[in-house]
């Protein structure tokens, strides 16, 4: 008679079960489903929006459609097993945002996906044939060698709302659309130095009705300079002053990189606050303003402005000896107003 050790018998059963896949380990619970595709609007009416999206790979049970209406946080709108959804009962001419989350099959070992990219969709407006009024007088602001901002002193009005403003350019008597924005200031770029441009502005409502053209404006871009420049303005009030520095790169092709502005700052002066993203460090009476990374490089046409507020004792001189420094450039004295 043969006897079998009970421990060996149990081990054999376990090995057999594993071989048969009966005790296979589940997928790690931290595995998220792949992110669904960013939704795309396929049909838009005055009261509904239909969106579709690319499916997520993996064991997907269904999708949660999330949306934002107005100034709210993301909210769950619906759950669907399809990759398309129609949102009904909406307000005409209103913006809605959508994104998609994939939900896993129960017991699959997967968790919900990260949200997809989001999309802004505006419902269609109600029928309307009334055009906006013409924008007011135009101004050319922040004019450089290569750019300018066109703004109006008076916004257009409309029986519904103004959806956009177009700046038009006149060339040889022909007006063409040039640049647009949904506010009364429109940015122009890729201009040429020392060149005159004639522009006008029209307002557009959600139905595409256009206003009469504003009165035209002719402006001239700035001429190119041989090297980057800086100018300083000191404004005193009692025993305090405001220091403002403007650095400009109006050259045709020079890139101003890793620039600083150095100056003499008496040790008895106290800096109370600063602005413009170029904090000042001090070693004795030597001060150095170093710009933040976002404006450390100024391409042709680029500008940067920074400054500080400080207090100083009676009889002390104001800051002086301002100089602009840049990679590969000789220090250049700043002008002082």
Q: Under a CB-based contact definition with an 8 Å cutoff, are residues 135 and 202 in contact? A: yes
pLDDT at 28: 54
Residues facing residue 248 across a β-bridge: 229, 303
Distance CA 101, CA 109 (A): 17
Residue in 86, 76, 100 with CA at minimum distance from that of residue 47: 86
Question: Is the Cβ–Cβ distance between 269 and 319 less than 8 Å?
Answer: yes
Per-residue pLDDT of the chain (337 residues; tens, 9 = 90+): 444 444 443 333 333 333 333 333 445 557 999 999 999 999 999 999 999 999 999 999 999 999 999 888 999 999 999 999 999 999 999 999 999 999 999 999 999 999 999 999 999 999 999 999 999 999 999 999 999 999 999 999 999 999 999 999 999 999 999 999 999 999 999 999 999 999 999 999 999 999 999 999 999 999 999 999 999 999 999 999 999 999 999 999 999 999 999 999 999 999 999 999 999 999 999 999 999 999 999 999 999 999 999 999 999 999 999 999 998 889 999 999 8
**Alpha-carbon separation of residue 256 from 38, 113, 260 (angstroms):** 39, 44, 10
Q: What is the pLDDT of residue 16?
A: 37
Under 8 Å CB-to-CB from 259, ≥6 apart: which residues? 228, 247, 291, 296, 298, 324, 325, 326, 327
Q: How far apart, in whole angstroms, are the C-alpha atoms of residue 290 and residue 232? A: 15
Q: Is 14 helix (H, G, I), strand (E, B) or coil?
A: helix
CB–CB of 214/134 below 8 Å? Answer: yes
Q: Give all domains of the chain, ordered by start, each with its CATH number.
A: 31-122 (2.60.40.10), 138-220 (2.60.40.10), 229-336 (2.60.40.290)
């Amino acid at each position: 008679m043969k006897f079998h050790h009970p421990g060996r018998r149990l081990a054999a059963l376990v090995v057999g079960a594993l071989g048969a896949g009966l005790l296979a380990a589940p997928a790690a619970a931290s595995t998220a489903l792949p992110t669904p595709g960013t939704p795309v609007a396929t049909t838009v009416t005055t009261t509904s929006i239909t969106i579709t999206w690319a499916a997520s790979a993996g064991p997907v049970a269904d999708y949660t459609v999330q949306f934002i209406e107005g100034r709210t946080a993301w909210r769950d709108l619906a759950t669907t097993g399809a990759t398309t959804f129609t949102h009904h009962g909406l307000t005409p001419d209103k913006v809605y945002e959508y994104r998609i989350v994939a939900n896993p099959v129960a017991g699959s070992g997967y968790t919900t996906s990260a949200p997809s990219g989001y999309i802004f969709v505006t419902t269609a407006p109600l029928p309307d044939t009334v055009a906006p009024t013409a924008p007011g007088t135009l101004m050319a602001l922040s004019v450089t060698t290569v750019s300018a901002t066109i703004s109006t002193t008076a916004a257009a009005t409309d029986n519904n709302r103004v959806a956009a403003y177009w700046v038009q350019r006149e060339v040889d008597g022909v007006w063409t659309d040039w640049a647009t924005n949904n506010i009364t200031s429109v940015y122009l770029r890729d201009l040429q130095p020392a060149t005159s441009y004639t522009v006008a502005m029209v307002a557009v409502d959600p139905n595409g009705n256009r206003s009469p053209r504003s009165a035209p404006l002719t402006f001239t871009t700035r001429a190119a300079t041989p090297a980057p420049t800086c100018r300083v303005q000191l404004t005193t009030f009692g025993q305090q002053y405001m220091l403002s520095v403007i650095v400009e790169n109006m050259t045709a092709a020079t890139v101003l990189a890793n620039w600083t502005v150095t100056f003499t700052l008496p040790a008895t002066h106290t800096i109370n606050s600063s602005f413009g993203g170029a904090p000042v460090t001090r070693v004795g009476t030597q001060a150095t303003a170093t710009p933040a990374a976002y404006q450390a490089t100024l391409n042709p046409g680029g500008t940067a402005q920074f400054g500080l507020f400080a207090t100083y004792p009676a009889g002390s001189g104001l800051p002086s000896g301002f100089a602009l420094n840049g990679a590969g450039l000789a220090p250049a004295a700043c002008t002082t107003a």
